[in-house]
């Protein structure tokens, strides 16, 4: 007889024996459902929300080109530390300087025109007063009087127009001076050049409604670092400012950093959100932005590092708790309905007493990873059904059950894992 055939026969014989044993056990325990049970007891419950995100500086500035021109002097490189007011880069200023000089000359000319108009107005005022006196003395004619008055009004209008032209040219000069000043880029804050997007010799363009202008660089103040997180809409209501967060940063494996939630967004995150670039395009789920400041950021931390956070949304020491797997939500046995006509549901567990189960409605509270607080309905020390899942779905009030031994429970768990 070959070894392979002998092995097959032995395997078949083993299965027959196992089947016979199972049948014998079933006949002795007919109508008894084997279940996994647990005891209602006080436990420490920690509720948390897990979210992914990126590290960012709380205070950072994205510098964009405000004037058009060639970059003729680039003084910094990525990673440089700068202080507020430091010179960063120079855009060609020749055209802006010429416009500023032209505006200055135009202002000077308009000032001279204003002074000339004022002199003419003063002379017209004196002529008018002299002609009026002569007219009142019946020396000058009425025509001369009307002519002198018209000349005065014309001179006053010319002077007012000259003053307006001075204001206009002064505004133009201020605008050109502002443009000239914007060709020189200075650091707006203390920080680090975390992103540099241009090189010397490139030409900058001004942004329009449909096209953004040239992005020059990003300066980040890394003295205050925050994690910008994506929190699912179902978890957002439990997250509040001031809650503690435990962060794990991929770049610092094995370490946990403490943080405090400082901001919870009120609007869903857009797919083009700059803080979470690369994360928001991978899912259609609705998420909200949550920011948490690190209490002690590690040296050398950089914007863009990937981070995972556990936000602690609640804790209860020694609260009466049960496994989440034990909680059953079933339709109302009395057929009660809501105002909208839907069948009401009730939350509860199957309690074990004298080898039988009965459904006990409960009210739950804070939920942890694997356990949930029981506010009412159960007492300390009660035994409840926690599995298997198939048994919980099938048993009913009054059914007889038997609690599995550890060995049976492990076998059932292994079978369930194999089936999945």
pLDDT of residue 282: 65
Contact call for residues 345 and 361 (beta carbons, < 8 A) = no
Residue 383, strand partner residues: 39, 352
Query: In 3D, which of 293, 81, 103 has the Cα closest to residue 192?
Result: 81
Query: In 3D, which of 396, 374, 400, 378 has the Cα closest to residue 330?
Result: 396
pLDDT of residue 160: 97
pLDDT of residue 1: 36
pLDDT of residue 172: 96
Burial code (b: 16+ CB inside 10 Å, e: under 16) for 243-269 equals: bbbbbebeeeeeeebebebeebbeeeb
Query: In 3D, which of 232, 286, 320 has the Cα closest to residue 52?
Result: 232
Residue 60, strand partner residues: 220
Q: How far is residue 162's CA from residue 301's CA, in Å, rounded to a whole number?
A: 61
pLDDT of residue 369: 87
pLDDT of residue 23: 35
pLDDT of residue 30: 59
Distances in Å between the Cα of 401 and the Cα atoms of 20, 330, 406, 415, 416 are 22, 20, 16, 20, 19
Mean pLDDT by 10 residues, the chain (420 residues): 35 34 39 91 94 93 93 95 96 95 96 96 95 91 93 96 96 96 95 93 84 88 93 94 95 93 93 82 82 93 93 94 92 83 89 93 92 93 91 90 83 60
Distances in Å between the Cα of 238 and the Cα atoms of 49, 52, 235, 316, 370 are 8, 16, 6, 15, 18
* Tokens 């009030």, located at residue: 397
Maximal CA-CA distance, the chain: 155
pLDDT of residue 402: 92
Q: How far is residue 375's CA from residue 319's CA, in Å, rounded to a whole number?
A: 9
Return the CA Rg of the chain: 41
Distances in Å between the Cα of 411 and the Cα atoms of 54, 312, 414 are 42, 35, 5
pLDDT of residue 254: 86
């Amino acid at each position: 007889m070959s070894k392979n055939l002998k092995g097959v026969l032995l395997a078949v014989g083993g299965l027959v024996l196992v089947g016979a044993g199972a049948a014998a056990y079933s006949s002795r325990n007919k109508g008894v459902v084997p279940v996994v049970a647990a005891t209602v007891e006080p436990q420490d419950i920690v509720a948390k929300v897990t979210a992914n995100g990126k590290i960012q500086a709380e205070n950072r500035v994205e510098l964009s080109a405000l004037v058009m021109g060639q970059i003729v002097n680039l003084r910094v490189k990525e990673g440089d530390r700068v202080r507020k007011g430091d010179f960063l880069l120079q855009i060609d200023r020749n055209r802006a300087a010429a416009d500023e000089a032209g505006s200055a000359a135009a202002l000077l000319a308009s000032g001279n025109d204003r002074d000339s108009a004022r002199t003419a107005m003063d002379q017209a005022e004196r002529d008018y007063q002299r002609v009026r006196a002569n007219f009142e003395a019946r020396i000058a004619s009425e025509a001369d009087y009307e002519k002198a008055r018209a000349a005065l009004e014309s001179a006053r209008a010319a002077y007012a127009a000259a003053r307006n032209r001075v204001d206009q040219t002064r505004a133009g000069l201020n605008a050109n001076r502002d443009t000239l000043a914007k060709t020189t880029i200075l650091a707006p804050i203390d920080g680090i050049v975390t992103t540099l997007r241009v090189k010397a010799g490139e030409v900058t363009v001004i942004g329009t409604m449909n096209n953004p202008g040239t992005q020059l660089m990003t300066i980040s103040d890394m003295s205050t670092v925050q994690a910008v997180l994506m929190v699912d809409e179902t978890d957002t209501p439990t997250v509040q400012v001031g809650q503690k967060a435990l962060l794990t940063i991929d770049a610092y494996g094995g370490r946990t950093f403490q943080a405090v939630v400082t901001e919870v967004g009120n609007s869903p995150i857009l797919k083009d959100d700059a803080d979470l670039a690369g994360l928001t395009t991978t899912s259609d789920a609705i998420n909200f932005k949550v920011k948490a400041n690190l209490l002690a950021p590690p040296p050398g931390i950089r914007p863009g590092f990937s981070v995972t956070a556990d936000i602690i949304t609640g804790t209860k020491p020694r609260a009466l708790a049960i496994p989440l797997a034990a909680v059953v939500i079933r339709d109302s046995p009395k057929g009660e309905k809501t105002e909208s006509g839907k069948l009401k549901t009730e939350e509860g567990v199957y309690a074990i007493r004298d080898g039988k189960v009965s459904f006990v409605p409960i009210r739950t509270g804070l939920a942890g990873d694997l356990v949930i607080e029981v506010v009412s309905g159960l007492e300390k020390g009660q035994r409840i059904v926690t599995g298997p899942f198939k048994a919980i779905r099938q048993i009913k009030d009054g059914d007889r059950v038997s609690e599995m031994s550890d060995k049976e429970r492990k076998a059932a768990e292994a079978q369930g894992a194999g089936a999945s």
